[in-house]
Amino acid sequence: MHTWERGANTMTGGEILIQCLKRYGVRTIFGIPGYHNLPIYDALYRNGDIQSVVACHEAGAAFMADGFARATGDVGVCLTTAGPGVTNAATGLGEAYADSVPILLMNGDVRSEAIGKEIGAYHEMDLLTFTRPLTKWNGMALRVEEIPDLVDKAFESLNTGRPRPVHLSIPVDVLKANGELAIPDRHSWGKSPIEEETIERAIDKIFASRRPLILAGGGTIASNASRELIALAEALGAPALFTRMGKGAIQEDHPLCFGYSRTKTSGDLIQESDCMIALGVRFTDLSRESWQKPPRGLIHVNIDSREMGKIYPPEVAVVGDVKLFLLHVIEQLRGRKYSPDHQWQEALSQLKKEIEQKGSSSRRRIFDARDLREVLPRDAIVSVDVCVPGYAMFSEFQVYEPRTYFAPTLFIAMGYGLPAAIGAKVAFPERVTVSVSGNGGFLMTCGELATAKKYSLGVISIVINDSCYHSIKLMQDADYGGRRIGIDLQPIDFVKLAEAFEIPGIQVKKAGELKLALEKALETKGPYLIEVVL
């Protein structure tokens, strides 16, 4: 580790920024160096406590920060230069914004005297206006002394309320300038209390029901409330469903887990239930498409008050942290006896057996989620890109631990799978990490294979190759009379592509071969590619 040559309180703006990030526990920064952020990279070089992972493209760096954040629950940090550095990272910002992921995007900007002048400065652009729709907060430090306060504001936004990305821009001359100031202590922000009257109304509603049902969304995982969710389900004998963002909130082999909320089975359960306890849910189209009627007896728990009543008016609106709510409810349940509908309980037990039998008896496909599940350890991390088999995995691939499965859910940005897996692997190098991509999405960020190789990150990349944009083909067949245009891709041998990065690979062409290929990949310490040819 390199040390400062000046006095303890005299540092450049870049050095002050790094010291501020260190006090908030930042241990990894994903990005690409450029002229305007070089003072930050020099500070990283001089301080060795924060790992720098250099990506091949800023979109890849932003996706890596996203994967790191989803896997850890910590803030993912992305660092770019001005202008195209930020615009390239914007797709990752959009994904994090839509899926409520805490990312800090930082960039070096043009010199402060040129901000807003349009004088033709190198990489000149109004970056704050550009990122405002994609961030929860953004700001710019125009003096060295402003950096600590703005870092505090960024982390306050990241750690309070609904998690979403933030953006901090610092002109290059501010990053180079010297300042004499002590780095202030780290701030902490507690959870806002939930009104006691609201808790009582929710508990009364639960005890008045006979067929309660729990729907877990991304807010359940964000608040680290999986244990409390399971405790509530078991106390009530209530079936638990999950949205796309809530996948992993409850282990899918638990007797009370009934899967993804979009299936017909889930829609039937919701129709039969007399009380839905929705935890950290937004009721997006992707979560409720199979529902025939609105849920009855809705108790909606969400940290964002703006989500209340957007789609369904709740009978009890609980604005607050999911874990805090569950702790209150579980404490109240300990002193009271709950009597569920016994016929409902018997029907749930029978339905669970039918679901398990159906899943095990269906014919194996060339790409089959069951092959992954049977080979991968329970805590393996799986990052899924935008592709037809990836959509199917929401229902077909069982997840047993929170923060081990993620996908671009609402912004639906292609190219996400591989770099997000790299970000997760950086966070947990000892964990098995797999990306699942279609050929179209993989081509958008396949250069990040070089990142995996450079940093010896043993990510297993599964590429499903059908030489087309398959989901678009299905839409054209269904809605446009089979008039197909713009969907065919140049045939590519992805194993040979991996070889160009000195990464071994194998092709899978028959049902059953994927399982063998995965076993072989697990024996390899470095990155590995499996091409599934359809």
Tell me the pLDDT tens digit for each residue of 441-462.
999 999 999 999 999 999 999 9
pLDDT of residue 289: 83
- Token duo for residue 132: 């405002």
Q: What is the pLDDT of residue 122?
A: 82
Given this model, what pLDDT does residue 8 score?
56
Q: Residue 10: which pLDDT band, with cuts at 50, 70 and 90?
A: confident
What is the reported pLDDT for 6? 47
Give the rounded percent of residues in the chain with a pLDDT score beyond 70.
98
Q: Is the pLDDT of residue 2 over 50?
A: no
Q: Specify the pairing of strand 178-180 against strand 10-12.
A: antiparallel
**What confidence tier does 117 reach under pLDDT thresholds 50, 70, 90?**
confident
Query: Is residue 371 left, alpha or beta, with left meaning phi > 0 and alpha meaning psi from -120 to 50?
Result: alpha
Nearest of 238, 307, 230 to residue 273 by alpha carbon: 238
Strand partners, 78: 30, 105
484 lies in the same domain as 438: yes
Does some domain include residue 187?
no
Instruction: Judge if 528 and 383 occupy the same domain.
Output: yes
Pairing of strands 137-140, 76-80: unpaired
Amino acid at site 396: E
Average pLDDT over residues 128-132: 97
In a domain, 96, yes or no: yes
Do the Cβ atoms of 465 and 533 come closer than 8 Å?
yes
Q: Is the pLDDT of residue 478 over 60?
A: yes
Higher pLDDT pick, 289 / 381: 381
Residues 150 and 20 placed together within one structural domain of the fold: yes
* Residue 3 confidence (pLDDT): 38
Question: Same domain for 103 and 214?
Answer: no
The answer to whether 425 touches 30, Cβ cutoff 8 Å, is no
Q: Are residues 368 and 353 in the same domain?
A: no
Judgement on whether residues 444 and 461 belong to the same structural domain of the protein? yes
362-379 pLDDT, tens digit each? 788 999 999 999 999 999
Q: Which residues lie below 8 Å from residue 516, measured CB to CB, with a gap of 6+?
A: none
Q: What does each C-alpha distance from 261 to 288, 351, 382 come to in angstroms?
A: 7, 15, 20
Q: Which two tokens stand for residue 413?
A: 């940005």
> Which domain, by its residues, includes 53?
10-180
237 and 355 assigned to the same domain: yes
Domains: count for the chain: 3
DSSP secondary structure code for residue 146 in this structure: G
CA–CA distance, 483 with 475 (Å, rounded to integer): 10
172 lies in a domain?
yes
Q: What is the CA radius of gyration of the chain?
A: 24
Check residue 193 and give its pLDDT: 93
> Is 190 inside a domain boundary?
no
Considering the domain architecture, whether residues 274 and 378 belong to the same structural domain is answered as no
Does the pLDDT of residue 183 top 90, yes or no?
A: no
- Which amino acid appears at position 246 of this protein? G
CATH number at residue 167: 3.40.50.970
Mean pLDDT of 32-37: 97
- Please give the model's pTM, rounded to 2 decimal places: 0.95
Terminal-residue alpha carbon distance, the chain: 49
Residues 529, 390 share a domain? yes
Q: In what order do the strands lie in the sheet with 505-508?
A: 405-406, 381-384, 433-438, 459-465, 528-533, 505-508
Task: Kindly tell me if the per-residue pLDDT of 5 is higher than 70.
Answer: no
In a shared domain, residues 417 and 487: yes
pLDDT, mean over the chain = 94
What confidence tens digit (pLDDT) does each residue in 243-298 have? 999 999 999 999 999 999 999 999 999 999 999 999 999 999 888 888 989 999 99
Domain co-membership, 232 together with 318: yes
Max CA separation in the chain (angstroms): 75
Predicted local confidence at residue 472, as pLDDT: 92
Tokens matching residue 250: 């409850």
Give burial (CB, 10 Å; 0-12/13-18/19+) of 161. Answer: middle
Beta carbons within 8 Å of 277's beta carbon, 6+ residues apart? 202, 206, 212, 213, 214, 215, 232, 238, 299, 301
Hey, what long-range contacts does 228-232 have (CB within 8 A, 24 or more apart)? 228/323, 228/326, 228/327, 228/330, 229/279, 229/326, 230/254, 230/256, 231/326, 231/330, 232/277, 232/326, 232/329, 232/330, 232/333
What is the token pair recorded at 352? 């669970």
Residues 398 and 520 in one domain: yes
β-pairing, 166-171 vs 137-140, is parallel
Q: What is the pLDDT of residue 165?
A: 98
Alpha-carbon dihedral angle through residues 31, 440, 260, 398, given to the nearest 10 degrees: -80
Distances (CA, A) of 223 to 161, 162, 497: 11, 10, 40
